[in-house]
Amino acid sequence: MAKSKPRVKVPKKAAKGDLITIKTLISHKMESGQRKDKEGNPIPRSIINKFTCDFNGQVVFACDIEPAISANPFFEFSVRVEESGTFKFTWVDDDGSVYEKTADIAVQ
Amino acid sequence: MSHHVTRRTAMALGGAALVAGVAGITPAHASEIDERISEFTGGAEAQSGRISIDAPEIAENGNTVPIGITVDSPMTDDDFVEAVIVLAAGNPRPGVATFHFSPASGEAAAKTRMRLAKTQDIVAVARMSDGSFYRENRTVKVTIGGCGG
């Protein structure tokens, strides 16, 4: 399939102890495995099945994804930041591909 | 008794096959939802409350229905929400997603977008760090075709 393109929205800076909101989106058709093609053959499932957000090497949020998640899966969640560091976002595809993106935040 | 297929038996067979066929593709049976819930809770009883499900009352496009889950919790190191499973009772398969939180989440809240095959109940079950479970249901009406309504 076409290469999946991840996008994330993370504030560049925050005050210590702030609750920040993170939004993520990745382009992916999320084929559910329930649909049939013109000949009536089932179209095999092909989705992103796992999303993880690490902060400085520690998992802060994760999601197990099933076929009922819409195409171009979107997630919004919060993180309380106590120190500067790097967020790492990881998406795992059914086909074994792993898509990654990082974002830095400065905490005062 | 004759073994010929009469018109009447053919009709009856056809009818039965039709019923079976429809049952095969339709929504997740209640039992599958219950299975997923007990798999998640390990058989423990889920109390009501603490969860709020934020979803439109009427979704015009079943392909992308926004949903937000918030669980009331202090989210401290010894009292936080570990995970929330979201299930759709009327989809061919009930699973939607399982969110995993941590004390660093600050609040147990997440939003995503899901597919809904038709008007149905959304079920969310939360697992707390002390091993207790909470459950909430919410009905979402789906306008097929997404032409407004």
Q: Where do the structural domains in chain B lie, given as residue ranges?
A: 7-142
A60-104 pLDDT per residue, tens: 999 999 999 999 999 999 999 999 999 999 999 999 999 999 999
Q: CA distances (Å), B95 to each of A68, B4, B15, B28, in order?
A: 7, 46, 31, 9
The domains of chain A are located at 5-107
Q: Does A71 touch chain B (CB under 8 A)?
A: yes
Q: Is B15's pLDDT higher than 60?
A: no
3-state helix, strand, coil in chain A (%, to 5): 0, 60, 40
Q: Which residue has tokens 């969110």?
A: B99
- Distance between CA atoms of residues A63 and B145, nearest Å: 29
- Distance between CA atoms of residues B14 and B7, nearest Å: 10
- List the single residue in A with minimal CA-CA distance to B25: A34
| Contact predicate A105/A81, CB 8 Å | yes
Q: What is the pTM of this model?
A: 0.85
Which tokens in the block code for residue A11? Answer: 């504030």
B135-149 pLDDT per residue, tens: 999 999 998 633 333
Point out the residue among A34, A59, A79 whose CB comes nearest to the CB of B106: A79
Q: pLDDT-based confidence at B29, cuts 50/70/90?
A: low
Is B104–A55 a contact, with Cβ atoms under 8 angstroms apart? yes
- Distance between CA atoms of residues A58 and A87, nearest Å: 9
- Architecture of the domain made up of A5-107: Sandwich (2.60)
Closest-CA distance of chain A to residue B123, Å: 13
| Contact predicate B25/A42, CB 8 Å | no
Chain B residues within 8 A of A62 when measuring between CB atoms: 99-100
Closest-CA distance of chain A to residue B18, Å: 17
Is B99–A61 a contact, with Cβ atoms under 8 angstroms apart? yes
Chain B residues within 8 A of A69 when measuring between CB atoms: 96-97, 112-115
B70-121 pLDDT per residue, tens: 999 999 999 999 999 999 999 999 999 999 999 999 999 999 999 999 999 9
Closest-CA distance of chain B to residue A105, Å: 15
- Closest C-alpha to A94, from A62, A52, A47: A47
The 8-class DSSP code of residue B105 comes to: G
The fold of B7-142 is Immunoglobulin-like (2.60.40)
